Amino acid sequence: MRRFIALMVLLASLVAFAPSAHAAEADTAPADVVQPMGTCSTVGCGGEVTNHSQHYIRISNNWCSGSSADYYGDRLYDCYPWQNWDRSDLYPADMWLTQNQYSGNFVKYRDTDAFMASAGCTTVFNKWIGPLLLGRWTYDRHNRTSAWIKITDAEFIDILSISC
């Protein structure tokens, strides 16, 4: 724990003293930061998911809720039209990741916003921000509807197992 606190203090001091490349434009975001339609063009620029389970996992490249709370249901119905279901080539949409697939390998999912813990199953995953493991989560959806879990831009989700 002391190492973690020391690392956080060191990082905070580096950020505090780092000069801003855009200091003269304090009220204007640089053009290269703005990404059209919530997507980004390089691997690792947004939320990421890797599926190491034996089952498929559904992911979405759009989270239209203003809340970061879980969404319950099989689809994010208000986030994209039904024609965009199961599409790896569209934004906004959702798709299935098969075993050992990584969301960053799909251009429209380099900024993945959510994944689904399926109804009737238990989904176990690790959540990372950079090199820091935030912990292991278990979503038990036996006798419950599916749950969509929001992913922030800095998070990497590693799906470890799904048992149904």
pLDDT tens-digit readout, 38-89: 567 788 889 999 999 999 999 999 998 778 889 999 999 889 999 999 999 9
What is the reported pLDDT for 150?
96
What's phi and psi for 135, nearest 5 deg? 140, 175
* Residue of 37, 90, 94, 28 whose CA lies nearest to 60: 94
Question: Are residues 91 and 37 in contact, defined by beta-carbon separation less than 8 angstroms?
Answer: yes
What is the reported pLDDT for 121?
98
Out of 26-35, 91-100, 142-151, pick the least confident: 26-35
What is the reported pLDDT for 84?
95
Question: Are residues 93 and 80 in contact, defined by beta-carbon separation less than 8 angstroms?
Answer: yes
Polymer length of the chain: 164
pTM summary value: 0.76
Q: What is the mean pLDDT of residues 128-155?
A: 96
Sequence-separated (6 or more) residues with CB below 8 Å from residue 157: 47, 48, 49, 50, 115, 125, 126, 127, 128, 149, 151
Local confidence band at 120 (pLDDT 50, 70, 90 cut-offs): very high
Question: Are residues 63 and 76 in contact, defined by beta-carbon separation less than 8 angstroms?
Answer: yes
- pLDDT exceeds cutoff 50 at 154: yes
Question: Are residues 59 and 91 in contact, defined by beta-carbon separation less than 8 angstroms?
Answer: no
Number of neighbours of residue 102 by Cβ within 10 angstroms: 17
